[in-house]
Amino acid sequence: MVEASSDVGFGALGLEWTGVEEVRGEVVVRVQTPGGRRVFCAGCGGRARSKGRREVVLRDAPDGGGRPRRVVWDKRVWACPDRECATRSWTGQASLAQPRRVLTGRAAAWAVDRLAAVEGSVASLARRLGVGWRTVWAAVAERAGAGAVAHLGFGETVMASASRRRRRRFITAAVDAGTGRVVDVFEGRDAADLRAWMHQQPRWWAGAVEVVCVDPHEGYRSAVSSLRSDGVLAQTARVAVDPFHIVRLANQALAKCRQRTQNQALGHRGRTGDPLYGTRKLLLMGVERLDGAGDPCDEVADCWQAKEKVRAVFKTIDPDQASDRLDDATRWCAAPEAAPELHRLARTLDRWRTEIQRRDRHPQRAHRSSQRQDQRRQTLSQRLPQLLQLPTPNPACRRTKTRPNSTRHKNPNPTSQLRRVEPI
């Protein structure tokens, strides 16, 4: 049992294993820095002389049987023979653990994995490793800092639909736009909610953000501007618009124009057999599928061309070409003879022009398709450990089952099957 635990791969870490024993249910592994190597001073370049060894005790990850493991490392101590050299003495280093650390790198990774899988708290993991709470938390914070996000995206999702007793509630997912990984989830979608979340993040983490990818929502843009003025975000952090939502606005303008044209031409909403109603899905696809029947003023075809011009902005990686295409799309939508839906789209494109162009200078991997799927799987067991945990759910906001009416006192006014009756 004890011999099996000695095979822990110390050779790959630049150390040699000297022995293993079990002391009071704990596996103690002894390693040392190999000898016979020439070491030179980093200050003067002279050959260093040995000053013996120094014993350092580290806490390693538990073995396969779950028993705690302790590593006793005999470090080599070196000294520079030149008395005038500023580098007098130092100890040898290895990738087993960083200087002045109690936990090995494997122990820190093991603690992070256990927290991500919700298999224990920081306090329980500290007890299993035989160290203090702050020691484990420092290791977790350090490893979480290695995953700083340069391109940070925000997108809201409905968490709870509206009912007669509560309003609709939203959650916002902070996503790494480069990989599509969900970083954290917080409640709300307003500028105040985003600012509060960013203020709770460590300054070193927020300062590493270079581009903030958001929806065309004024609350997000104002929040990023205030965060830059407060010093939470770097002054060089820029706002970029997700191309998914820009194209979606063009599709919405096309759909509204189709509905308005349908009502004006036939006097009713779309029905089976109507030309525009039959092509409502094809309008969002290719020009070869577009049929001009049912569009006497060619307004729907005009909106379709505007939609394709907006899509063409995001099909090029050349900033100058993208700027020219955006100008062409804006002029097409702002023309006096254009449909009113395109006039509104033109105002939106003009208001978010800088952010749309900035997206092309900083291309980001599309994450909208995987964001909802990641949010469905978003639990503490599937998240990487972050310094900010999910907010504790409010018990008052949970659905509670209403107690049925007693058989002794029947309700004289039973609940109607209709949700709501509007006055005629």
Cα→Cα distances 388→89, 180, 183, 206, Å: 41, 19, 10, 13
Most confident listed range (148-152, 192-196, 405-409): 192-196
Answer whether residue 346 shows pLDDT above 50.
yes
User: 101-105, 383-387, 410-414: lowest mean pLDDT where?
Assistant: 383-387
Q: What are phi and psi of 296, to 5 degrees?
A: -65, -35
- 51-84 pLDDT tens trace: 788 888 888 888 777 788 888 888 888 888 887 7
Other Cβ atoms less than 10 A from the Cβ of 201: the count is 18
pLDDT digits (tens, 9 = 90+) for 250-308: 888 988 988 898 888 888 888 888 878 877 777 776 554 555 556 667 788 888 888 88
Please state, in angstroms and rounded to a whole number, the distance separating the CA atoms of residues 368 and 348. 21
**Using one digit for the tens of pLDDT, what is the confidence trace for 156-186?**
888 888 888 888 888 888 888 877 777 888 8
Q: Write the pLDDT tens digit of every residue in 312-324.
A: 898 888 888 999 9
Reported as a single tens digit per residue, the pLDDT across 119-170 is: 778 888 888 888 888 888 888 777 665 567 888 888 888 888 888 888 888 8
In this prediction, residues 188-201 reach a mean pLDDT of: 87
Contacts of residue 29, defined as CB under 8 A and 6 or more positions apart, other chains included, come to 5, 6, 8, 10, 17, 19, 20, 60, 69, 70, 71, 72
What b/e string do you get for 326-348 counting C-beta neighbours within 10 Å, with b at 16 or more? beebbebbeeeebbebbeebbeb
Is residue 404 pLDDT above 80, yes or no? no
Query: Please, what sign has the CA dihedral across residues 194, 196, 200, 202?
Result: positive
Q: Position 288: which residue type? A: E
CB 64 within 8 A of CB 27: no
Q: Is the pLDDT of residue 378 over 80?
A: no
R_g of the chain, CA atoms, integer Å: 32
Domain residue ranges of the chain, discontinuous segments joined by +:
1-96, 102-146, 151-241+366-376, 243-361
CATH class, 151-241+366-376 region: alpha beta
Q: What is the DSSP letter of 380?
A: T
Q: Which of 219-228, 351-360, 415-424 has the highest mean pLDDT?
A: 219-228
Nearest residue to 355 (alpha-carbon basis) of 220, 175, 233: 220
- Res 9: pLDDT: 66
What six digits make up the tokens of 79? 């000294």
* 1 pLDDT more than 50: no
Contact 75, 56 (CB under 8 A): yes
Q: Six-digit token pair at 398? A: 């949970």
Separation between Cα atoms, residue 163 and residue 316, nearest integer Å: 44
Enter the pTM of the model: 0.45
pLDDT at 374 over 60: no
Q: Which of the four pLDDT bands, split at 50, 70 and 90, describes residue 327?
A: very high
Burial of 353 (0-12, 13-18, 19+ CB in 10 A): middle
Sorting pLDDT into bands at 50, 70 and 90, what band is 394?
A: very low
